[in-house]
Amino acid sequence: MYFKKILFLLVLNIFIFCMALSVTSNAVAASQISVDLVNIDTRDLLKMLAKYSNKSIVISEKISSKITVNLHGVSWREALDAVLQMQGLVKHETANVIMIATADEAVKNEQLVSQPAVFNLRYTSADNIAKLLKPAGVLSSYGKSGAEVNTNSLVVADTDDKIVSIKQLLKQIDVPAKQVLIEAR
């Protein structure tokens, strides 16, 4: 009987600890920040965002530019993505580490270049989309896209950030065409 009580209390404590840990991580992810900085070193800003996110960060030595930031009511992730996009930087994120480098450096090291992604399209021609990605500026200068016509699949090789952008774009583009009803009398 005594053993069952101890076991019950132990399981209850573990459950409460897991709930608290989940709430804490969700609070960090959902909280909003405001940043108003003038002519700050990009590396310093990235370090500040990493501290706020409780993630480790590895920043390339080649990043040395300055930036002026005025963001209000955004998540740390939105702020990070905005800074990276404005500075032409790319990131590769694992569970607890964010690696940031210049796009050229990422391609040379192939650390930040993802495996080719395959998108199966239902309503849009993969061949047409593959031809439009590069001229539209969706792909990076070294990104590649192609289409498998038989399966209507789009194959894209680029950085993780670009793959995510393309995935979001395809969700908006690959939709059924609106139907028009024509009645004859």
In tens, the pLDDT along 64-120 reads 888 888 888 998 888 888 888 888 888 877 777 888 888 777 766 655 556 788 899
- pLDDT above 90 as % of the chain: 3
* Phi, psi (degrees; rounded to nearest 5) at 150: -60, -35
Q: Report the chain's C-alpha Rg in angstroms.
A: 23
Of 19-28, 36-45, 53-62, 101-110, the poorest mean pLDDT is in 19-28
CA 155 – CA 118 distance, rounded (Å): 5
* Phi, psi (degrees; rounded to nearest 5) at 36: -135, 95
Architecture per CATH, domain 117-173, reads as: 2-Layer Sandwich (3.30)
Q: Residue 171 has what pLDDT?
A: 92
CATH number of 31-109: 3.55.50.30
Q: Residue 30 has what pLDDT?
A: 55
Contact 132, 151 (CB under 8 A): no
**Which one is predicted more confidently, 1 or 82?**
82
CA 30 – CA 75 distance, rounded (Å): 6
Q: Residue 15 has what pLDDT?
A: 57
